[in-house]
Structure formats: structure tokens, C-alpha cells
Structure 1
């Protein structure tokens, strides 16, 4: 259900919620793991087990915006943010049915500059097809939050101001045209960010942004995430849940 922005969700404001910091999980591709040099793929079987593990512990996966809005209201301690980066076509084929089976939602970060293309930015890995505009609309119609991963998956810490603005601002505009809805979330390609990238995300009007390990930059525009992969069995998930990162406190 769409939720209007609240003061506690405005960029630069801390999360007004007691308890542990929000737990946001990062996935990429869901499919064949036989040739996976970057370890970005989880098999459907493993994803099924991981979602089942969350549910057994009384946790439910949701999109990041739903998670943050609930936490800002002082609720949502049983919610986990599930994110899928890059917008691989196998999300609709493999991930979406499993999310439905376990009653979970998610945020899908896509690249509107590569619609229907592939992961050309990964020189060593197999070519994986990306979702088309139709595939993105299908995921959105199923209740998946659509966020921006930039236009073309470039490292924002290595580009000039003009390209930075295009990757951040123009991707939001294009995605809004594709989905017919506002786009609230951004995900930094490669998880990398610096102050200039954060400022560009804020200026473009995003409500939140996800990284991997943002270092000293924390807050709604630099949310840390933990990677879930094929090797993450129940014991590893337990440790990752216990060793959550520090509270999110505002950039």
C-alpha cells in the first residue's frame, strides 16, 4: 500500500524507532550458481530456505520503504528489508513466486538505461538478461517496490558531476515513466558512495538510498545492507542477524 512521506522519513532525519537498527538484506540474481565468479547468484532452492528461515523466526521480508515507514512509526520490529539489485530477468521467473509463497515483499533496484539488456559491467561473469520495461511493470503490479540503481551501473565515486547527475536524476525520471508511479529509493552501484553522490541523491528527491558498507556516512541516504548468498545456511543467517550494524543516524 502506498504510504505518504512522513517527517521521520525525510532524507537527513534519523530513524525514530527503538530497538535494533533496521535489517536490510541484499540479493542480486536468482538462478544457476554453477558459474558465479562474483558470487551474486543464489539458487531458488537456497532462497526458498532463507525465506523459510526468516518466517520461522517470526520475521517477514518487505520492501525498504515499507520497512522504514513502519520503523519511523515505532513498529516493524518483525520486518526485514529484502532488496534485489540490478533487475535481472530471473527475478520474475524465480524470486517472485518464492516471495509470494512466503508472504514477503521486496525492493527491486533496476537500471532504466539498460532495459532488456544484460550485465555488461561484469567482465568475468556469464551474461545475464535484465528485465524489460514490461517485466518491471509486472513486478510492480505484484506489489514489488521499484527503485533506481542508476542508469547504467557505473561507479558514482569515479564520475564527473554531469554524469553523476544523469545517473541519479534521470534514472528516477525514466523509472517513473516506466511504472507510472513515484520512485522513492536509490541503490548505489557496487555499493560505493561518497558525500558528492549522497548530495546528488538528496537533490534528486529520493527518500532513502541503500549502500553496502557506507563507512562513516550513515542515515536514510546511506543505509547499510548485509549480503545473502548461496553459502548462507541457517547458522550463517543467525550470525548475520546477531551481528547487525550500528544504528542509522542521519547524513
Structure 2
């Protein structure tokens, strides 16, 4: 992976790949078998840590634009997968408090539903169409997480196009705004999937930390969980700095 990321960094941007944090749900909880939930108080402390260390969390749209203009110093991408309703109730107020923005990747075909793909986890509600419009109207970025939260590499070409292209069109119609970002469910991406995302017109796409492909349409991200206090956040920041500059 390091060689692939390095080739992209040198050939496309001549800069290290950006620092992007990956969240899912921010809510109080009693059970979290998939480790996708951060307690709201912990999340606020994480944002506070970023600001105290001269960093500001921003949407991927803002981060990629700043990088293009050569002025992304101190910016960290904040991404939230799946589009849980707690983004509206718990995440957005904290973002506003600390002067941050973020990107939420929503599942276009499950608006108002729940996380049916997490068979052993607690049920979590997903944002409604009205909430998606409110998120976009507030200046936060809405990206696509597909139509149904499926394994992209297991789909045939027709199914893949629906997940990628149709979800984008649906969200554009819903928000009245361009949808420039895609996020691969489960981090499942291969060359065919990445090329389909790029051909569909997305400006960028987010993968996970270790991905078989890379580039602007498979950006690596750093997982953040409920155990991540200041020391762990610092360690992850240092790891990114060391890896991104190789």
C-alpha cells in the first residue's frame, strides 16, 4: 500500500495524502460490538484536543479545495459514515461549538431506516430526507455511501452503477447541491469499483486505512473510536505524518 500511496502523492498532488478521521455514530450506548460509537462527551473532548493542537476539523469538500489552493495547513478531514440521526443531534452542535465542519456519507436508499447490515449490533436510526436537506442547508457536506450499504466488489456492473451513480443523483435531487464525495461501505474497494466511482463524476472517494488501491478516489482514513483520548489521538497523528511522507 505504501508504494501505491506514494506514487499517487507524487504524481497527482506532489504532497502527502491528507489527514482524514473516520467516525460513524456519536451517541450514548451500552453495547457496541462493531466499535462504531463514540460517546458525545468523548467526541467533544476529541474536538477540543484538535483545536488545542492547532488543528481544525473540516469537510472533505473544504479540505480538498484547500489542498488544491495550497492552503490546507492545520486542516483535518472529519467524516461520518452511514448517516445516523445522532449526527444531527450530537455531532452538529459540537461542530458548531468548535468552529468545525464535516462530511456525512449517507445511504441514499435507506433514509429514515436503520442499520440493518449490523446484524449483531443495536438498532440505530438513519437520517431522514428532511434531515439530509437540513444538513446540506447548514453548510455541511453530504456525500454518498451507496444505495443500500453493500459490498461493492461483490456486485455486477449494473448493480454497481446503481449503488454509485444512482445514489449520487438521488442525493443531488434531494439537497439541490452537487455530491462530490463517495465512501465505500466496509472499505470494500478494488480497481473496478474505484474506476466506476471516478467515471460517475465524483471528485474524490474515501476508503479506510489499508486499502488495495489508493489515489484521490480511494483516500485512506484514520479510525477514531471511543477509546481515543489525547495520547492515542497524538499517536495516530504521528503515525499519519510518518506514513504520509514516505
Q: Same fold (TM over 0.5)?
A: yes
5 Å matches for 1:230-245? Answer: 230-244=226-240
Alignment equivalent of 1:15, drawn from 7, 13, 16: 13
Summarize deviations over 1:99-134 as a string: whole Å, max 9, x none.
000000000000110010000010000110000010
Q: Tell me which of 187, 191, 199 is aligned to 1:191.
A: 187
Does the aligned pair in 1 maintain the 2:189–2:212 contact within 8 Å?
no
Q: 2:24 aligns with which of 19, 24, 28?
A: 28
Greater displacement, 171-180 / 26-35: 26-35
The CA distance in 2 between the partners of 1:21 and 1:160, in whole Å, is 30
Q: Select which of 208, 213, 235 maps to 1:212.
A: 208
Are 1:125 and 2:121 counterparts? yes
Instruction: List alignment gaps of at least 5 residues for structure 1.
Output: 1-12
Q: Deviations over 1:140-162 (max 9, x none)?
A: 11111000000010010111111
TM-score normalised by L of structure 2: 0.92
Root-mean-square deviation (CA), in Å? Answer: 1.5
1:226 corresponds to which residue? 222
2:45 to 39, 44, 49: 49
**Unpaired runs of 5+ in structure 2?**
1-10
CA offsets, 1:69-106, max 9 Å, x none?
11122111110000000000010000000000000000
Q: CA deviation at 1:247?
A: 3.9
Provide the secondary structure at the position in 2 that maps to 1:25.
Answer: strand
Structure with the largest fraction of helix: 2
Contact 2:187 2:211 in 1 (8 A): no
Aligned length: 235
TM-score (norm 1): 0.90
Whether the 8 Å contact between 1:16 and 1:74 is mirrored in structure 2 is no
Quote how far apart the aligned CAs of 1:246 are: 3.9
Contact 2:190/2:212, CA 8 A, preserved across alignment: no
